[in-house]
């Protein structure tokens, strides 16, 4: 392999954020799928806005705020018990089908999780999915309170690993994350699961694939 470390984004890259739609449908019926999609979009929007405004709060709190906002917009009945249950479901998201096998194929490498998620979300998620043991490091922006795609967030990974950006391959399904990581100086792999078009942010990933297995095929 070419890189000293393989750094993985979590939400949308290793885990399907929309696997929560089943639980949303349980509570919100025919609005469930739309709520799960809007919840994710508002979650990201709040991260970006709070980063710009300099009003950081942990990802868990952002996830809760985003859910409450979307439920208010959709005018659905919600209680603290429902909120708690849905937030718990975020700790049990489904990994994508090829993830475990791909990690097994890379197990001799230095594998790292790097996420906007806070540790009280990441550790339960990785443990529940039985993926925790594949990763040598779990790195959260919560340690420095700077959300991706801030350059300070990506620098934090380099500091934790004591590596130069060019020694790291950063993997994400999120085009905005790939753009931020590319501008920072990481080598990047866009896991384009949704088969969308790369955002016009003057950044070109080193690899563009549909899933992790395809990437490994290109790396070996």
Residues acting as catalytic residues: 9
Beta-bridged to residue 95, according to DSSP, are 15
- Residues 123 and 138: beta-carbon distance below 8 Å: yes
Q: Is 29 helix (H, G, I), strand (E, B) or coil?
A: helix
How close are the terminal C-alpha atoms of the chain, in Å? 7
Buried b (16+ CB within 10 A) or exposed e, 44-72: bebbeebbeeeebebbbebbbebbebbbe
Number of Cβ atoms within 10 Å of the Cβ of 170: 29
How many residues does this entry show for the chain?
220
DSSP string, 68-85: HHHHHHHT----HHHHHH
Number of Cβ atoms within 10 Å of the Cβ of 120: 14
Distances (CA, A) of 182 to 45, 85, 187, 203, 215: 21, 37, 6, 6, 17
């Amino acid at each position: 392999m070419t890189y000293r470390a393989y750094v993985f984004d979590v939400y949308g890259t290793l885990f399907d954020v929309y696997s929560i739609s089943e639980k949303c449908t349980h509570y919100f019926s025919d609005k469930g799928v739309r709520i799960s999609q809007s919840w994710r979009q508002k979650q990201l929007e709040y991260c970006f806005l709070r980063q710009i405004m300099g009003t950081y709060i942990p990802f868990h709190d952002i996830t809760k705020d985003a859910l409450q906002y979307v439920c208010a917009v959709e005018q659905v009945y919600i209680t603290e018990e429902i909120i708690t249950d849905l937030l718990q479901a975020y700790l049990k998201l489904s990994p994508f089908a090829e993830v475990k096998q791909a990690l097994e194929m890379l197990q001799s490498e230095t594998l790292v999780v790097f996420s906007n998620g806070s540790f009280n979300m990441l550790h339960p998620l990785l443990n529940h999915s039985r993926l925790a043991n594949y990763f040598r490091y779990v790195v959260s922006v919560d340690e420095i309170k700077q959300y991706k795609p801030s350059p300070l967030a990506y620098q934090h990974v380099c500091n934790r690993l004591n590596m130069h950006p060019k020694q790291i391959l950063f993997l994400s399904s999120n085009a905005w994350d790939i753009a931020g990581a590319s501008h920072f100086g990481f080598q990047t792999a866009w896991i384009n699961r949704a088969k969308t078009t790369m955002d016009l942010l003057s950044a070109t990933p080193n690899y563009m694939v549909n899933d992790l297995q395809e990437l490994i095929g290109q790396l070996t």
